[in-house]
Amino acid sequence: MEIHLVNFIFLNFTVVVLLVGVIVNLKESYLPQFVSQAFRYGKHKHKGKTNTIINLMEIPKSCFKHFYAFALFWSLWGLYLVLKTIILSTPVPDGIVQFLDLVAGGSYRPILVKSSSALIAIVLLSIQCVRRFYETWMMQIFSSNGKINISHYFVGYLHYFGAVIAILANTEGFVKGSKPSPFSLNKVEIYKFIFIIIFHIAWKQQFNSNKILVEGRMDQNGKISQDHILPRGGFFDLISSPHMFFEIVIYLSIFGIIPESQTWLYCTIWVTVNQIQNALLTHKWYLTTFKDYPKQRKAIIPFIL
């Protein structure tokens, strides 16, 4: 029996985060302490008694930078393959086709995505990875005592690995015996241009939100504070985690470009569930940390959630 490994990864990530996240948000006392400690990180990290084994599995939160370096390389490599295949009409190497067979469903992979749509999707994903690389390596301020469980670290690698595969797996030219269609803007449906615009709005607003978080950690003299602050301005006036909200919008926008891809759908669901659970915990942290926290702010979806 042939298994679609990438779909399996995204579905399992979704189920685990949804189940554990709901319990942590609603009935955390029902969970073993070590599960809660492993799940929480950042602002809403576990407080109190810790588990010795879980402590050994924790690494500095700044290690997030590593998988964004991988994401940058991996997405640009995917972009190179798509460009080379479409623009130069170069057949995809057999080794890559066989690799996609291995991780994306076996020898029979249906052609679901037009090569022109895949090119747009991989360009957008690459732009996102370039910016996230810049933010984590050049902008973001990591607390010296910030820790993450090593499982979060590996999930980051698997996510970006799967995201690029999701775009390539069922695209013309990347399925055995198929050829890509010549790229032409005239062949791109009008509604997809709307999703491109939405992507760029979300991309810019996510950058602005991350910039607000960074600037809030520095005083007028540029001295960095280890303490988390109450962010103000931009979409922070509406929700506690606009950067997480726009992450969801970014993935939904790419889904609008390649709606035929079931794998990208699973990727988008996983991102949505993960961001919502994290945002809810972050919102609770803000409410308990800042007694004057603005009451009109929601957790992640303006005016709703």
Q: What pTM did the predictor assign?
A: 0.92
Domain boundaries, the chain: 5-289
180: helix, coil or strand? coil
pLDDT tens series, the chain, 305 aa: 578 999 999 999 999 999 988 888 888 788 888 888 888 787 777 787 887 888 888 888 888 899 899 999 999 999 999 999 988 888 899 999 999 999 998 878 899 999 999 999 999 999 999 999 999 998 887 777 778 889 889 999 999 999 999 999 999 999 988 888 888 788 789 999 999 999 999 999 999 999 998 887 776 666 776 677 788 888 999 999 999 999 999 999 999 999 999 999 999 999 999 999 999 999 998 998 888 888 889 999 988 87
